């Protein structure tokens, strides 16, 4: 195998030969130098594990501002939700009152009270009060409790 043909040249398993092959793959001209740092961008955000306390306080202040902004947005949403629910309830209450009033007028018209008194007045007619001790009319007194304790009335009797 000492002939100078390409098949006779021994191929070495030396790692340096592979490096040359890689360099040829990256560039069509192997004599040209290639800056590999341009191909890989530097990390944009670094870890905060090795930062100093001043940077930590800046980070915490930014975090606090962000949390405050989020809290205000959530409160605004809650207020809008509560306001819409309140308006919805008020509208429902207004409709219910309107229906109830209409029905009340129909009942009054249909019933035609004989004495002309309305139901809403609540019976403001003459009320007689009787004294429990003397039985005299006109004296309203509160009877004293005869005995303390709890009185239970059974409905079974």
pLDDT per residue as tens digits for the range 66-91: 999 999 999 999 999 999 999 999 99
Answer yes or no: are the C-beta atoms of 140 and 150 closer than 8 Å. no
Spatial CB neighbours of 150, under 8 Å, sequence gap ≥ 6:
none
103 pLDDT band, cuts 50/70/90, is very high
Instruction: Kindly report whether the global pTM for this prediction surpasses the value 0.75.
Output: no
Q: Which of the pair, 114 or 47, is modelled with greater confidence?
A: 47
Answer yes or no: are the C-beta atoms of 15 and 8 closer than 8 Å. no
DSSP-based helix, strand, coil % in the chain, nearest 5: 50, 0, 50
Question: pLDDT > 70: what percent of the chain?
Answer: 43
In DSSP terms, which residues pair with 137 in a beta bridge?
Answer: 130
């Amino acid at each position: 195998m000492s002939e100078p043909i390409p098949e006779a040249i021994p191929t070495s398993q030396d790692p340096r030969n592979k490096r040359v092959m890689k360099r040829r793959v990256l560039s069509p001209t192997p004599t040209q130098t290639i800056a590999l740092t341009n191909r890989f961008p530097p990390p944009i955000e670094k870890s905060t594990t090795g930062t100093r306390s001043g940077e930590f306080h800046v980070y915490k202040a930014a975090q606090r501002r962000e949390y405050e902004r989020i809290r205000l947005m959530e409160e605004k949403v809650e207020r809008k939700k509560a306001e819409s629910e309140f308006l919805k309830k008020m509208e429902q209450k207004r409709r219910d009152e309107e229906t109830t009033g209409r029905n009340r007028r129909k009942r009054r018209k249909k019933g035609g009270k004989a004495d002309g008194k309305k139901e809403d007045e609540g019976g403001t007619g003459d009320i007689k009060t009787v004294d429990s001790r003397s039985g005299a009319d006109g004296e309203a007194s509160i009877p004293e409790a005869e005995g303390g304790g709890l009185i239970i009335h059974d409905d079974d009797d």
